[in-house]
């Protein structure tokens, strides 16, 4: 099983992959640009591809994560155009690096209501996919349901997915912290929840697992990650992992470590849990 973490690509893609090896990671997630900005980043496609080729022998899967400032459901046309251009840019960067997945957060309806928000999100995604070719798949991440966030449940994610015309280019990323904060990951009725999350029509589209603990309580609808096993999910994270859900999918840890080096312990923890 592939286990890794979110890392900084600021010193270059090849350097990031070499540091990942050092942390005993075989999957790495990175931001294509400043995560607080959706300004389109100019880049040299050839140079990125050459840099990625230098580290091909390392056998590490990479995952790109879109900046969280974009809102796929914004009712404002100018913001919509900016969001589309930003995600198109992210997909192009990911593709240049040979990254198979780009994770994006579902939209926020900001008072327009879930139906309108979902319709906007679908229009935006259709336009993004129409503008980009390439191999990188777009993964919709489940949200904590903070504020007016969409995509909180498996049903909501599946509804968006089935309404997309290019749905074969779209999958899901499942985040344990978000699912717990959203009131989805209820360990007091785990067998039922396990069955729902494992439904083939959903599970078959999950390509990446974000393994995080939660600082906030069950159903708190707030997204604050905690170190593995040290948050509100605690020991149940181990139960989740050992249940075999999304078992063959790469695991990315995005916990609040002080320094990248500390991910070594988080990765070791997960490998230990998986070993029993
Ligand atoms: Zn996540
Ligand atoms: Zn989060």
Residue 206's domain is classified under what CATH number? 3.20.20.150
Ligand nearest 253 Cα, by number? 1
To the question of pTM greater than 0.95 for the whole model, the response is yes
pLDDT of residue 37: 85
| pLDDT above 90: residue 253 | yes
Instruction: Give the C-alpha separation, 196 to 177, whole Å.
Output: 17
Instruction: Give the C-alpha separation, 116 to 61, whole Å.
Output: 36
Ligand 1 geometric centre to CA of 182 (Å): 13
* The total number of structural domains that make up the chain: 1
pLDDT, tens only, 182-241: 999 999 999 999 999 999 999 999 999 999 999 999 999 999 999 999 999 999 999 999
Instruction: Look up residue 264 and give its two tokens.
Output: 């070594």
pLDDT, tens only, 43-101: 999 999 999 999 999 999 999 999 988 899 999 999 999 999 999 999 999 999 999 99
Ligand 1 geometric centre to CA of 161 (Å): 19
Ligand 1 geometric centre to CA of 174 (Å): 7
3-state SS class at 111: coil
CA angle, 134 then 136 then 140, to 5°? 135
Ligand 1 geometric centre to CA of 216 (Å): 15
Ligand 2 geometric centre to CA of 23 (Å): 22
| pLDDT above 90: residue 174 | yes
Instruction: Look up residue 158 and give its two tokens.
Output: 């599946």
pLDDT of residue 276: 81
pLDDT, tens only, 8-57: 999 999 999 999 999 999 999 999 999 988 899 999 999 999 999 999 99
Ligand nearest 214 Cα, by number? 2
| pLDDT above 90: residue 136 | yes
pLDDT of residue 125: 97
Ligand 1 geometric centre to CA of 57 (Å): 27
Ligand nearest 104 Cα, by number? 1
Q: How would DSSP label each residue in 6-49?
A: E---TT-HHHHHHHHHHTT-SEEEE-SS-TT--PPPP--HHHHH
Ligand 1 geometric centre to CA of 254 (Å): 7
Among candidate residues 199, 207, 116, the one with its CA nearest the CA of residue 153: 199
Ligand nearest 223 Cα, by number? 2
Q: Are 225 and 254 in contact (CB under 8 A)?
A: yes
Confidence of residue 155 (pLDDT cuts 50, 70, 90): very high
Ligand 1 geometric centre to CA of 144 (Å): 10
Instruction: Give the C-alpha separation, 276 to 273, whole Å.
Output: 5
| pLDDT above 90: residue 150 | yes
Ligand 1 geometric centre to CA of 68 (Å): 10
Residue 158, domain extent: 3-274
Q: Provide the residues around ligand 2 (an ion) whose CB is within 5 A.
A: 223
Ligand 1 geometric centre to CA of 231 (Å): 15
Ligand 2 geometric centre to CA of 11 (Å): 24
3-state SS class at 207: strand
pLDDT of residue 201: 97
């Amino acid at each position: 099983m592939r286990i890794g973490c979110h890392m900084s690509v600021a010193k270059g893609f090849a350097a990031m992959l070499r540091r990942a090896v050092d942390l005993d990671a075989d999957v790495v997630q990175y931001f294509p640009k400043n995560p607080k900005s959706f300004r389109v980043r100019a880049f040299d496609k050839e140079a990125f591809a050459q840099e990625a080729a230098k580290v091909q022998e390392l056998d590490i899967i990479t995952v790109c994560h879109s900046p969280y400032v974009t809102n796929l459901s914004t009712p404002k046309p100018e913001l919509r155009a900016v969001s589309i251009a930003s995600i198109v840019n992210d997909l192009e960067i990911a593709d240049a690096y040979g990254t198979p997945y780009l994770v994006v957060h579902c939209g926020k309806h900001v008072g327009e209501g879930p139906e309108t928000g979902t319709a906007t999100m679908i229009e935006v995604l259709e336009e993004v996919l129409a503008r980009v070719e390439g191999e990188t798949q777009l993964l919709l991440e489940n949200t904590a349901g903070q504020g007016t966030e969409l995509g909180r449940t498996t049903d909501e994610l599946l509804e968006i997915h089935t309404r997309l015309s290019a749905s074969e280019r779209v999958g899901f990323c499942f985040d344990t912290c978000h699912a717990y904060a959203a009131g989805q990951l209820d360990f007091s009725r785990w067998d039922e929840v396990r069955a729902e999350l494992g439904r083939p029509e959903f599970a078959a589209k999950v390509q990446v697992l974000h393994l995080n603990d939660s600082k906030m309580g069950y159903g708190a609808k707030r997204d604050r990650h905690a170190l593995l096993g040290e948050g509100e999910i605690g020991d149940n994270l181990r139960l989740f992992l050992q249940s075999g859900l999304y078992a063959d999918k790469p695991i990315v840890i995005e916990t609040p470590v002080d320094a990248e080096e500390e991910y070594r312990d988080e990765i070791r923890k997960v490998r230990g849990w998986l070993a029993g």
